[in-house]
Structure 1
Amino acid sequence: MSSLSVRLPKAAAVRFALSDWAHTDGVTWMFILKTLITAFTALWLAYRLELPQPNTVLVSAFIVLQPQSGQVLAKSFYRILGTLAGLTVMVTFIALFAQERVLFLLCVAIWVGLCTAGAARYRDFRAYACLLAGYTAVMIGIPATLHPEGAFMQALWRVIEITLGILCTGVVSAIVLPQTSTAALRNALNTRFGDFAGLASAGLDGTLDRERFEQASARIAAEVVGLESLRNVTAFEDPHMRLRSGRLARLNSEFMQLTTRFHALQRLLDRLRERQASNVLEVLMPCLIDVSELLASWHGRPLSEADAERLSVQLELCKHHLMPRIREARASLGHTCPREADQLDFETAAELLFRFVDDMHNYAQTHASLAAHKHEREQWKERFTPKANALAAAVAGFRCALLVIVGGVFWIETSWLSGATFALTSVLIAALSSASPNPKRLSLQLTLGTLLGATLGFILTFRVLPHIDGFPLLCFVLAPVFALGAFLITRPKWSGYGVGLLVWFCIASLPANLARYDAYTFINEYLAMLLSMGMAVVAAIVILPPNRPWLWERLEAELRLRVVRVISDPLKGLSSNFESGTRDLLNQAYGLSTGRPDVQRRLLRWTFQVQEIGLSIIELRREQEALPKEPWYAERMPWRRAIRALGRALIRLFIQPSESNRQRALAAVEHAIHATRTTDDRRPPHFDSSPLRRVCSYLHFIRTSLLDPQSPLRD
């Protein structure tokens, strides 16, 4: 008996194993179960209501499927908007061009192209509104050209069917063991500071290698973009998170500023270590160690609201003790190393360190404020501003419009009975793949998934369904197909196969209220689908695929132009716009260049350069905006004119990078530093009291960035 008890696992181990399963494989099985409940509920209602096309109900349900309830609700909301927009436009087109198929087809192609371009522009759940506005228009319009007299009733039936599928998915997702987006958002917020604290602690004590730093920068950019998407989604499912939407936006903005400040400090410390500036590092090290030890204590720890309150108190004390230490270090450096360059290095590094701690303090205060339903920090007007390449969106729209025209012309010229399916499928494939960084791969996955669906559909339609009777047996037969498709959707690398299997199996193989067993029509329908998918794959390969150098280079150019925007745009809201736009561009370009580490490395180097220069320019502009009205701070002063000349030199450099433009920018920043240092300042020469001292630090950081041997400007 005692030996048996020894072999039995302990209760704690069992609970841990069950918890681990629930958060890994359990999530997959729960998604499969919810998919089956959704599908059979929607199908039963479609049959009971005797809807003309039950397959449309299931297609709508499967397209809306997401693991988290907030994602389902957001996707459903925008999908209904897109459906209504597509309905309105298509009824108008039918009324105007029902007797002229060529003009009708041209208008449909233009509309679908615009909708697809809009989907590529937004790249979030709003993209589904655009996709469905185009797809619904085609789904209603193409069959209606055969029977225009019944177009309006067909449109109403499609809207009812689509809405029913959306409602079934939303209700099941919200009721059956819901996985909320709010929980995912809170988990992301609680864990990201602990991860960042370990990274920052290693950077301050000198143990952070370049490869880890670059990988972390790319990951942080993706996390920031993902968190903004989660913030938008949670507003649909949780009123408590909706009350905190402003603070969540502020928290994300402050985290971006915090990571940019750390990046600037880390790069400067790396340059000092490479130059072996031992005197500066030696006097600065006690200050760095204090902050590093504080951060090390938070490494890997989840940060709840109560923890954030304690962190805020710790950072307040750290700030209080850090300033005297910096002044002691400055005095020590003055006795041992009077060189101007070393003094500027120290001043710049010390200010970046103090601002870094201050940024963390602001972040901790905002995080702690989430505990309250209402808080003054909710008043936050700056927003995350995503950036999309207009040409890439236009290419996606053109590709989809061209497929509509080619499919429609082929249908008209051949009078193929399945030509409507051919044209309809080409639109849906092009629309779904337009938002993908690799439309060729997604189109191919959808095609292979559809081929699998055709095989299973043929077996079920002609070998199984004629021998069963009743809805329970139908569910039993369809369950393996739906479960397989849901399982594939849960695997990011295989999700295209799952979507292709579920969507096109339902379109061609799902029995209607009046079942038909017509092998000729069945084969024609699937042949039309596979041919149109093959055409979409060819179009994705031939017509400017996004994961090619033409788009990487444009996104890289847009990254550089962020510096130009920082110099020329209004200061209000500039910081948040700069931080979010830069990270969104990096996230896009990094994803598109998967498999090309050389391209990704170059994109990261440009991002670092842009962030360094952009941060310094924003701080310079803020300092000049807040200058007191004293004669030595006037617009006409030489140091103010020198900074304006530096701005013009930097604009030339980042619009057209070259060695000659870099040298001009270096000369301009040297002149600005000299003019600033020789200006008579009546305030104590500390960065916490002298605006000119701070200005000189920002200018010096720009100079060190331009001189960095790792800079892409030196390629």
Structure 2
Amino acid sequence: MSPVLWAWRQLQALEWRRALNTWARTDGVTWVYIFKVLAAAFLTLWLAMRLELPQPRTAMITVFIVMQPQSGHVFAKSFYRVLGTLAGSAMMVLLMALFPQNTELFLPSLALWVGLCAAGAMRYRTFQAYGFVLAGYTAAMTGLPVLEHPDQAFLAAVWRVLEIGLGILVSTAVSAAVLPQSASAALRNALYQRFGVFAGVAVEALRGSNDAERFEASNVRFVAEAVGLESLRSVTAFEDPHMRRRSGRLVRMNSEFMGVTTRFNALYRLLERLRARGSTQINRALAPGLATLTELLEPYVDRLLTDADALRLTLELAAYREGLQHQVRELRADFLASAPSEAELLDFHTAFELLYRFIDDLYNYAQTHASLAAHTHVREQWHEPYVALTNWRVSAAAGVRSAAVLLLLGSYWLLSDWPSGAMMTLIATVTAGLSAASPNPRKMAFQMACGTLFGAFVGFFETFFVFPWIDGFALLCLVLAPVFVLGAFLASRPAYAGYGIGLLVFFATGSVPNNLTLYNPYVFINDYLGMILGMLVCAAAGAIILPPNSRWLWQRLEHDLRNQVLFALGGRLRGLGSAFESGTRDLLHQAYGLAAGKPQVQRELVRWMFVVQEIGHAIIELRKEQAQAPVHPAYAESQPWRQAIRVMGRSLARLFLQPSASNHQRALVAVDHAISRVQATDEPFARHFDTSVLRRVQSYLHFIRTSLLDPHSPLAAAQGAQHAP
């Protein structure tokens, strides 16, 4: 063999090994998932046939719906599917008992139930939503086929619970026993990676080398991770007892990390405003403290933060925090020697107050992260849960769409007496339920219709030209496997999930043989025609009846986002910080996903989040300072600075309820008045306070003022005129 040919073959072998490694990293998990889907589906079908259940395909469909790449997701989804199935079956039996053979009352009552369940699914967007979806369409799937035979309703509900229970049992067993993929491992990996990414963003921002778009994109990522980690945490409780014992610390870590990012965003945006104003003297005074923080964070950039690293970070932050107070005193003395103006001195105090609070929040986060190494820890005691917010109009729109589809198609079925009308109504209800919680129900329903159409052609060929010629369960599995592999592969890709679900679920619904198989082309074609028509009606309803990806919803969510400032002003102080942080991010996460494909809208929403977090967080800190500051009872209500802060709160509430030039001007005047009242606090009142308390109050008020004057915030359009700092 020539040296050239030998070298060429070695190069080809190296390329093959690289391709194999890439496949193992990217698609290896997908193919393991597909193998587990096939194994669980065929085992369930075999058991259902051996047990002579009426509809083995129902048990198989349960596998397709429940199966997920990670075992924790399978456990969580199975748990809520059981609850939803029991609730839906019980409601169906109740409705059938109340309205036997009375379709005029049964159908509207069923539509009301399905609508309420769809609204609940939109309200709870984790796996709890799946329980609501199942409660809705289980009642329809069990009740509609036996509408004319109410005496069979209870038996139909029992059979359905048994079939679904079999599918859930096999799915969980296969997921846990065959090459299990743990959700807790994914949670740990996400926790360890998150701080390294944040450290990189912080170091770049402190050095002034981070552009605005990249900074906004990083914050959107942190928002998505905060929402996703809460979902992962609730899932790991089903599979890992070690993570379940750390559940309180995981909630605490998520809350503390949100506080860290909010505090850093406030510090960064204040520094950017100072740089834009050309405040050279202030920037020079702040530089030593920021440089020390940059040096501290730099070793953690793009590194996994393990429990040992978190402990080391805790010690470094404690030392830095102690040295920061001495450093600030020295820097302040040098700064005062340069005879700064009152506004420059306020900028100096505000910047270092934010820096100190940021270090304090980061220290608490590192402590909680380090505590994960212990099986039990005092930091597990955390009573501030993650708060998810959903606009009630969004939930109501999902419920109205589902109820309208069921009423429309059910009425058509009863009036036309079409034999496949029950299948059309049934599948439309299932489609409406499965697509209710998706960001774009119209797209999801249309993709499912396309997948079902492809499954109809394949199913017709296999049912009438293949099934009659095969003998035995092994050959049946061999014939069905290619369709299921294609469907599972498409379902594992988020962009094509609707096609995969349509192919898997509804191919099994119409083409997988039951224990008693009837080869009737007329019924087969009509049933698939009813399925596709029902899905297309769902797609049309998603595009016509209050579509969730339309402008009206972005405006409502933006309004809810602004209302978080009112929540900061009037909410109960205990747990207010965590509820404010999680609620704000949850609203942005919803709105950002619904505005996909519209970058200008998404950027505007992110900017609203920044200004809401800045001002809302400052308001909460002001309220804490007022609540904790010692004060003589005789002066509690009569102090002018407290009254001025209350007036400022009312002005800010009006501004965020209705942003306008006049409300913006009133808010600025109120903030200026509050600052002047704090500065003018006379000796009889001031002696009841620690001087640092009044300085912190003044710093937060000044930060609110600078945020209102930020030319890059959404409030800039309402300013009307440029104000001097």
TM category (shorter chain) comes to over 0.9
Distance in 2 separating the partners of 1:478 and 1:10 = 37
Which SS does the other structure have where 2:412 is aligned? helix
Distance in 2 separating the partners of 1:693 and 1:21 = 59
Q: Is 1:154 aligned to residue 161 of structure 2?
A: no
In structure 2, the residue matched to 1:362 is: 364
| Contact map agreement 1:195 1:299 (CA 8 A) in 2 | yes
Shift of the alpha carbon at 1:603?
A: 0.7
Q: Which residue, out of 529, 532, 535, partners 1:533?
A: 535
Q: Which residue, out of 257, 273, 276, partners 2:275?
A: 273
In structure 2, the residue matched to 1:245 is: 247
Q: Which residue, out of 90, 93, 96, partners 1:94?
A: 96
Q: Deviations over 1:242-275 (max 9, x none)?
A: 0000000000000000000001001100100100
In structure 2, the residue matched to 1:657 is: 659
Distance in 2 separating the partners of 1:109 and 1:94 = 14
| Contact map agreement 2:101 2:148 (CA 8 A) in 1 | no
CA 1:681–1:476: 2 relative to 1, 3 Å: farther
CA 1:51–1:299: 2 relative to 1, 3 Å: same
Q: Is 1:693 aligned to residue 718 of structure 2?
A: no
Distance in 2 separating the partners of 1:656 and 1:318 = 43
Partner amino acid, structure 2, of 1:22? A
Q: Deviations over 1:621-670 (max 9, x none)?
A: 11011111347973321111111111111111111111111111111110
Normalised TM-score (structure 1):
0.97
CA 1:632–1:86: 2 relative to 1, 3 Å: same
Distance in 2 separating the partners of 1:382 and 1:678 = 37
Q: Which residue, out of 433, 450, 453, partners 1:451?
A: 453
| Contact map agreement 1:488 1:497 (CA 8 A) in 2 | yes
**Count of matched residue positions in the alignment of Structure 1 and Structure 2:** 714
Which SS does the other structure have where 2:419 is aligned? coil
Which SS does the other structure have where 1:297 is aligned? helix
Compare 353-362 and 269-278 and name the one that shifted more: 353-362
Shift of the alpha carbon at 1:355?
A: 1.1
Identify unmatched segments of 5+ residues in structure 1. Answer: none
Q: Is 1:638 aligned to residue 603 of structure 2?
A: no
Shift of the alpha carbon at 1:169?
A: 1.1
The 5 Å alignment of 1:378-389 reads 378-389=380-391
In structure 2, the residue matched to 1:48 is: 50
Q: Is 1:285 aligned to residue 287 of structure 2?
A: yes
Shift of the alpha carbon at 1:25?
A: 1.1
Shift of the alpha carbon at 1:14?
A: 9.8
In structure 2, the residue matched to 1:392 is: 394
In structure 1, the residue matched to 2:236 is: 234
CA 1:596–1:688: 2 relative to 1, 3 Å: farther
Which SS does the other structure have where 2:331 is aligned? helix
Q: Deviations over 1:319-376 (max 9, x none)?
A: 1222222221111111114201111011101111111111111111100100111000
Partner amino acid, structure 1, of 2:239? E
Distance in 2 separating the partners of 1:538 and 1:14 = 47
| Contact map agreement 1:279 1:337 (CA 8 A) in 2 | no
Q: Is 1:258 aligned to residue 260 of structure 2?
A: yes
Compare 323-332 and 581-590 and name the one that shifted more: 323-332
The 5 Å alignment of 1:436-515 reads 436-515=438-517
Partner amino acid, structure 2, of 1:42? T
In structure 2, the residue matched to 1:626 is: 628
Q: Which residue, out of 293, 298, 301, partners 2:300?
A: 298
In structure 2, the residue matched to 1:552 is: 554
Compare 252-261 and 655-664 and name the one that shifted more: 655-664
Partner amino acid, structure 1, of 2:45? L
In structure 2, the residue matched to 1:208 is: 210
| Contact map agreement 1:683 1:690 (CA 8 A) in 2 | no
Q: Is 1:64 aligned to residue 40 of structure 2?
A: no
The 5 Å alignment of 1:531-680 reads 531-630=533-632, 634-680=636-682
Distance in 2 separating the partners of 1:263 and 1:12 = 46
In structure 1, the residue matched to 2:723 is: none
In structure 1, the residue matched to 2:345 is: 343
Shift of the alpha carbon at 1:10?
A: 14
Q: Deviations over 1:664-711 (max 9, x none)?
A: 1111110110111121469999x9961000000000000001111112
Normalised TM-score (structure 2):
0.96
Partner amino acid, structure 2, of 1:135? Y
| Contact map agreement 1:683 1:689 (CA 8 A) in 2 | no
Q: Deviations over 1:28-75 (max 9, x none)?
A: 110111111011111111111011001111111111121111011001
Partner amino acid, structure 2, of 1:38? A
CA 1:684–1:409: 2 relative to 1, 3 Å: closer
| Contact map agreement 2:117 2:135 (CA 8 A) in 1 | yes
Compare 672-681 and 213-222 and name the one that shifted more: 672-681
Q: Deviations over 1:541-584 (max 9, x none)?
A: 11111000000000000001000111011101100110000000
Q: What percent identity do the matched residue pairs reach?
A: 57
Q: Is 1:310 aligned to residue 312 of structure 2?
A: yes
CA 1:221–1:668: 2 relative to 1, 3 Å: same
Shift of the alpha carbon at 1:5?
A: 9.9
Shift of the alpha carbon at 1:163?
A: 1.1
| Contact map agreement 1:41 1:168 (CA 8 A) in 2 | yes
Q: Is 1:377 aligned to residue 379 of structure 2?
A: yes
Q: Which residue, out of 348, 351, 354, partners 1:352?
A: 354
CA 1:11–1:341: 2 relative to 1, 3 Å: farther
RMSD: 2.1
Which SS does the other structure have where 1:99 is aligned? coil
Q: Is 1:175 aligned to residue 177 of structure 2?
A: yes
Shift of the alpha carbon at 1:217?
A: 1.4
| Contact map agreement 2:635 2:685 (CA 8 A) in 1 | no
Q: Which residue, out of 200, 218, 241, partners 1:198?
A: 200
Distance in 1 separating the partners of 2:223 and 2:182 = 23
Distance in 2 separating the partners of 1:426 and 1:146 = 20
Shift of the alpha carbon at 1:515?
A: 2.1
Q: Is 1:126 aligned to residue 104 of structure 2?
A: no
Distance in 2 separating the partners of 1:390 and 1:114 = 12
Partner amino acid, structure 1, of 2:267? L
Distance in 2 separating the partners of 1:152 and 1:467 = 37
CA 1:204–1:75: 2 relative to 1, 3 Å: same
Which SS does the other structure have where 1:493 is aligned? helix
Distance in 2 separating the partners of 1:332 and 1:630 = 36
Shift of the alpha carbon at 1:480?
A: 0.4
Q: Deviations over 1:279-300 (max 9, x none)?
A: 0000100110111122121110
Shift of the alpha carbon at 1:514?
A: 2.0
Shift of the alpha carbon at 1:448?
A: 0.3
Structure 1 residue ranges, 4+ long, deviating more than 2 angstroms after superposition: 1-23, 629-635, 680-685
Shift of the alpha carbon at 1:168?
A: 1.3
In structure 2, the residue matched to 1:713 is: 715
Partner amino acid, structure 2, of 1:635? E
Distance in 2 separating the partners of 1:369 and 1:19 = 36
| Contact map agreement 1:284 1:326 (CA 8 A) in 2 | no
Shift of the alpha carbon at 1:21?
A: 3.5
Q: Deviations over 1:371-392 (max 9, x none)?
A: 1110000000001000001001
Distance in 2 separating the partners of 1:428 and 1:514 = 24
Distance in 2 separating the partners of 1:602 and 1:314 = 37
| Contact map agreement 1:113 1:400 (CA 8 A) in 2 | yes
Which SS does the other structure have where 2:199 is aligned? helix
